[in-house]
Amino acid sequence: MSDKAIRDELAKLREQVAELHVARTDDTSQQEHHETGAAPQKEALQIAGEVEKNHPPGEGDEIHDSEEQIREFVNALEQEIKSTNPMTVLVVFSLGVVIGRLLPR
Confidence of residue 45 (pLDDT cuts 50, 70, 90): low
Average pLDDT, the chain: 76
**pLDDT for res 27:** 62
**pLDDT for res 28:** 63
Dist. CA 83–CA 93, nearest whole Å = 16
**pLDDT for res 80:** 85
Least confident stretch, 26-30, 73-77, 96-100: 26-30
Kindly report, residue by residue over 47-96, the tens digit of the pLDDT.
666 665 665 555 566 777 888 889 999 999 888 888 888 888 899 999 99
Question: Any residues with CB less than 8 A from the CB of 48 and at least 6 apart, and which?
Answer: 18, 22
